């Protein structure tokens, strides 16, 4: 949890609402915040957009905002109800709320488990077309243009998605987006051996998409990089590809994996820009300010192994991968964690 985040160099993290029970009310926000007291890494909870993250009825957004929720979304569940999204975008404007919508049309995705393309066809895996993501992004942006408000689109994965968001920003729509570490580094070619460590949502795409995502980082169409850290126990991961759960852990490998494809300056910029996206005050290094520091060395290379994983779950897509640099820990809230 928070200790793993601290030792991985993160002084603050956003907590998704997909816990048990779902974080969809004021009491749950208060509970998770109370559990984070005393840790070096600060925790900022995201409240569920809909009750139980079921996509049917809007959750207690205003109450959760007052309790400290930084945004509202249903993690990696799509919201197929367009009218509900329209109402939510309108409603949260009264208290400057931020709506997060995972972009994947569940009907077009169907039973797909991998990117629709040459690799999925060769392996006989059911494909998830780029269209499943792009259609939802286009819809969400149309709604945002109609309603106003603020929208965040997490973990985009296709070249066309980058284009759509770039066009929306040119229209001055208040939209931000993120990309996961693994989508910047890996492609669907990793699936050749049916290794479920690479089964993620959205799925790993092609090299063309990966390069477009990197370009989106460099030209600032993509606002931030997320670890999309999703621990899954071995019982739900080491099984047939079609049946295995989607997700990878990402805290421990994030810094080193990103340094293999981006400059140190860009890695730091995009791993810390989430505070701007979510309206969290940024600290600066100055006399009299509280220290908020990550400790790392950007030099050197090593192979990422299970010994590097501090999480209980070991479902890392980067096992066996060469990473750069080394993270030692953090100094934050008067606490040193190494």
Q: Which CATH number belongs to the domain containing residue 323 in this structure? A: 3.20.20.140
- pLDDT at position 302, please? 96
pLDDT per residue as tens digits for the range 217-240: 999 999 999 999 999 999 999 999
For the cut 90, the answer to whether the pLDDT of residue 289 exceeds it is: no
C-beta atoms surrounding 286 within 10 Å = 6
Query: What is the domain count for the chain?
Result: 1
| pLDDT band, residue 329 (cuts 50/70/90) | very high
Per the CB < 8 A criterion, the answer to whether 128 and 112 are in contact is yes
Q: Which domain holds residue 269?
A: 80-281+296-337
The reported pLDDT for the residue numbered 250 is 96
Q: What is the dihedral of CA 206, 187, 236, 306, to 10 degrees?
A: 180
> Would 178 be classed as within a structural domain?
yes
**Most distant CA pair in the chain: distance in Å?**
60
Please state, in angstroms and rounded to a whole number, the distance separating the CA atoms of residues 165 and 222. Answer: 8
How confident is the model over 59-91, as pLDDT tens digits?
Answer: 999 999 999 999 999 999 999 999 999 999 999
Alpha carbons within 13 angstroms on the beta-carbon side of residue 253 total: 32
Q: How far apart are CA 73 and CA 22, in angstroms?
A: 11
Task: Work out the pLDDT band at 96, boundaries 50, 70, 90.
Answer: very high
Q: How far is CA 126 from CA 114, 119, 135, 157, in A?
A: 6, 10, 19, 18
> Which pLDDT score is estimated for 287?
83
Query: How far apart are alpha carbons 248 and 239 in whole angstroms?
Result: 15
34 part of a folded domain:
no
Mean pLDDT confidence for 192-220 = 98
- Choose the catalytic residue: 195, 228, 233, 242: 228
Calculate the dihedral angle through the C-alpha atoms of 79, 81, 86, 91, rounding to the nearest 10 degrees. -70
Under a CB-based contact definition with an 8 Å cutoff, are residues 79 and 42 in contact? no
| pLDDT at site 115 | 99
The pLDDT value given to residue 12: 97
**285 pLDDT above the threshold of 90:** no
pLDDT of residue 288: 83
Angle between helices 159-170 and 207-218 (to 10 degrees): 30
- Do the domain assignments include residue 327? yes
* Residue 135 forms part of a structural domain: yes
Q: How confident is the model at residue 216 (pLDDT cuts 50, 70, 90)?
A: very high
pLDDT, position 319: 96
H or E element that contains 71: none
The answer to whether residue 11 is domain-embedded is: no
pLDDT digits (tens, 9 = 90+) for 9-33: 999 999 999 998 999 999 999 999 9
d(CA 190, CA 40): 36
Q: What is the mean pLDDT of the chain?
A: 97
Rounded (10°) angle between helices 207-218 and 264-272: 80
Q: How many CB atoms lie within 10 A of CB 210?
A: 22
Q: 292-316, pLDDT tens digit by residue?
A: 999 999 999 999 999 999 999 999 9
Q: For residue 315, what pLDDT is reported?
A: 96
Flag whether 35 is in a domain.
no
pLDDT at 284: 82
Nearest to 153 by CA among 188, 179, 190, 117: 179
Query: Model's pTM, two decimal places?
Result: 0.96
Q: What is the mean pLDDT of residues 35-39?
A: 97
Residue 271 counted as domain residue: yes
3 state SS of 56: coil
pLDDT in tens, 230-266: 999 999 999 999 999 999 999 999 999 999 999 999 9
Q: How far apart are CA 159 and CA 133, in angstroms?
A: 11
pLDDT range class, residue 327, cuts 50, 70, 90 = very high
In this structure, is residue 75 part of a structural domain? no
- Give the pLDDT score at 282: 85
Let me know: does 325 contact 259? Beta carbons within 8 Å.
yes
Q: What is the pLDDT of residue 42?
A: 97
3-state helix, strand, coil in the chain (%, to 5): 40, 20, 45
Q: Is 228 a catalytic residue?
A: yes
Whole-angstrom Cα distance, residue 149 to residue 89?
A: 6
Percent of the chain with pLDDT over 70: 100
**C-alpha distance from residue 139 to each of 71, 103, 118 (Å):** 20, 10, 28
Q: Which stretches within the chain are classed as H helix?
A: 2-7, 26-35, 61-67, 82-91, 106-109, 118-123, 130-147, 159-170, 181-185, 207-218, 254-258, 264-272, 274-277
Name the strands in the sheet holding 322-332, side by side, starting at the edge strand that comes first in the sequence. 292-303, 322-332, 335-337
What pLDDT does residue 1 have?
A: 86
């Amino acid at each position: 949890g928070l200790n793993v985040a601290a030792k991985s160099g993160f002084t603050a993290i956003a907590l998704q609402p997909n816990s048990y029970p779902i974080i969809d009310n004021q009491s749950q926000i208060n509970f998770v915040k109370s559990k984070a007291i005393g840790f070096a890494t600060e925790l900022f909870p995201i409240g569920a957009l809909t009750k139980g993250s079921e996509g049917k009825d809007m959750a207690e957004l205003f109450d959760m905002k007052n309790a400290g929720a930084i945004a509202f979304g249903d993690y990696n569940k799509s919201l197929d109800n367009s009218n509900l999204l329209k109402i939510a975008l309108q409603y949260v404007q009264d208290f400057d709320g931020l709506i997060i919508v995972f972009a994947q049309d569940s009907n077009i995705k169907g039973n797909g488990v991998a990117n629709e393309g040459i690799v999925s066809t060769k392996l006989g895996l059911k494909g998830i077309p780029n269209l499943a993501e792009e259609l939802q992004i286009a819809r969400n942006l149309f709604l945002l243009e109609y309603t106003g408000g603020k929208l965040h689109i997490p973990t985009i994965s296709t070249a066309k998605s980058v284009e759509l968001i770039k066009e929306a920003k040119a229209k001055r729509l208040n939209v931000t987006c993120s990309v996961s570490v693994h989508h910047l580094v890996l492609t669907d070619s990793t699936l050749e051996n049916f290794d479920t460590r690479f089964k993620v949502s959205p799925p790993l795409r092609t090299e063309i998409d990966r390069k477009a995502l990197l370009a989106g980082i460099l030209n600032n169409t993509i606002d931030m990089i997320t670890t999309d850290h999703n621990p899954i126990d071995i019982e739900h991961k080491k099984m047939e590809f079609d049946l295995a759960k989607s997700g990878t852990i990402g805290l421990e490998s994030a810094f080193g994996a990103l340094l293999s494809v981006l400059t140190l300056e860009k890695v730091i910029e995009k791993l810390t820009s989430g505070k701007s996206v979510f309206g969290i005050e940024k600290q600066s290094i100055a006399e009299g300010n509280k220290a908020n520091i990550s400790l790392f060395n950007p030099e050197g290379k090593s192979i990422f192994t299970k010994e590097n994983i501090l999480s209980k779950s070991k479902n890392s897509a980067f096992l066996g991968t060469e990473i750069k640099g080394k993270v030692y820990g953090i100094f934050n809230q008067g606490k040193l964690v190494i």
